[in-house]
Amino acid sequence: MRVEILNPEVQGLASLSRAERQLPRHVAIIMDGNGRWARQRGHPRSFGHEAGVAAVRRAIRAALDIGVEALTLFAFSTENWRRPAGEVEFLWHLLQRHLQDDLPELHALGVRVMILGERQDLPQAVQRAIAAAEEVTAGNDRLFCAFAVNYGGRRDITRVARELAEEVRRGRLRPEDISEDLLEKRLATAPLPSLDLLIRTGGEMRVSNFLLWELAYAEFVSLPVLWPDFEAGHMSQAIQEYQKRHRRFGGVGP
């Protein structure tokens, strides 16, 4: 489906087809730098997380405007439980509020919401907000928006390994039938197109246990901007960088 480009910052791309524009189908973002942003202003880390929610809205809007098919946002890693309990609780509260408050607008915009990660460890109220957002938006197809919450790349692969081992034990699967394709189809990201571009804000050059399998041939762009300062223009900037890359997938290329 062709998405109209509404944002003036990306209008230059409007006259070109999807293929000509070499648009990434699936963009993922490690939304980093909330704490530093707050500290620079003399505020507690929670202030940065709160401001980060507005940046999430801008990122979703930009993805819609540009015509990306899927956007995966890293909101909480399996290692983020190491943070002070008060910060973790605040993050759950924010996620719940965002899902509830923004659900009507996301739905009206045609966004399909999905959560990646182990939701059973989250507070009940958050699990209910997740279920409602997924259910209400299940039929939407303008943008697939996945929030990675209590997600870890290693955890996801380990979960699949365990499931497959169980099927072998029950005699439903032979070890020799376990292929890359089969394993990939069981990952939490299976419903999404394959990952093209990873953006990390905050300037770090690491993946912090995000989509480990999916990142095999994705392009990586690290932006020096702290997440609460993220604007549509940063999304365009990262995509323009992506468009200059030559993806060879191990071959020799042009």
Note if 140 is an active site residue: no
Q: Which stretch binds ligand IPE (CB under 6 A): 34-42, 59-67, 187-195, 236-244?
A: 34-42
Task: Give which of ligand IPE, Mg ion, none residue 27 binds (C-beta under 5 to 8 Å, depending on kind).
Answer: none
Q: Closer to ligand IPE by CB, 5 or 130: give it.
A: 130
- Helices and strands, counts by H and E, the chain: 8, 6
Q: Is 141 a catalytic residue?
A: no
If one asks whether residue 45 binds Mg ion (CB under 5 A), the answer comes out as no
Contact yes or no for 74/214 (Cβ under 8 A): no
Helix axes 232-244, 45-66, angle to 10 degrees: 60
Exactly one of 80, 140, 209, 229 is catalytic; name it. Answer: 80
| Min separation Cβ 106 and ligand IPE, Å | 20
Catalytic residue selected from 32, 102, 156, 196? 32
The residue whose Cβ lies closest to Mg ion is: 32
Q: Which residue is nearest to ligand IPE (CB)?
A: 35
- 76 forms part of the interface with ligand IPE (CB under 6 A): yes
- Give the separation between CA 74 and CA 53, rounded to whole angstroms: 12
In whole angstroms, give the CA distance from residue 228 to residue 74: 14
| 50 binds Mg ion, rule: CB under 5 A | no
Question: Of the two residues 72 and 137, which places its CB atom closer to ligand IPE in the complex?
Answer: 72
Q: How many CA atoms lie within 13 A of 208 on its CB side?
A: 23
Q: Which stretch binds ligand IPE (CB under 6 A): 17-25, 73-81, 214-222, 242-250?
A: 73-81
Q: Which of 206, 245, 247, 248 binds ligand IPE (CB under 6 A)?
A: 206
* Binding range to ligand IPE, per CB under 6 A, among 74-82, 121-129, 177-185, 240-248: 74-82
Who's near 126: CB < 8 A, 6+ residues apart?
A: 92, 95, 96, 99, 119
CB of 204 to Mg ion, least distance (A): 7
- 49 versus 98: smaller Cβ distance to Mg ion: 49
Q: Is 17 exposed, middle or buried (0-12, 13-18, 19+ CB in 10 A)?
A: exposed
Q: What angle do CA 103, 106, 112 make, to 5 degrees?
A: 100
Which tokens hold the place of 86? 């008060």
DSSP state of 59: H
80 near ligand IPE (CB under 6 A):
yes
In terms of Cβ atoms closer than 10 Å to its own Cβ (0-12, 13-18, 19+), residue 3 is middle
- What's the token pair of residue 36? 């530093």
Which of ligand IPE, Mg ion, none has residue 228 at its interface (CB below 5 to 8 Å by kind)? none
Regarding 32 and contact with Mg ion (CB under 5 A), the answer is: yes
- CA 51 from centroid of its chain's CA atoms: 18
- Show which residues are catalytic: 32, 80
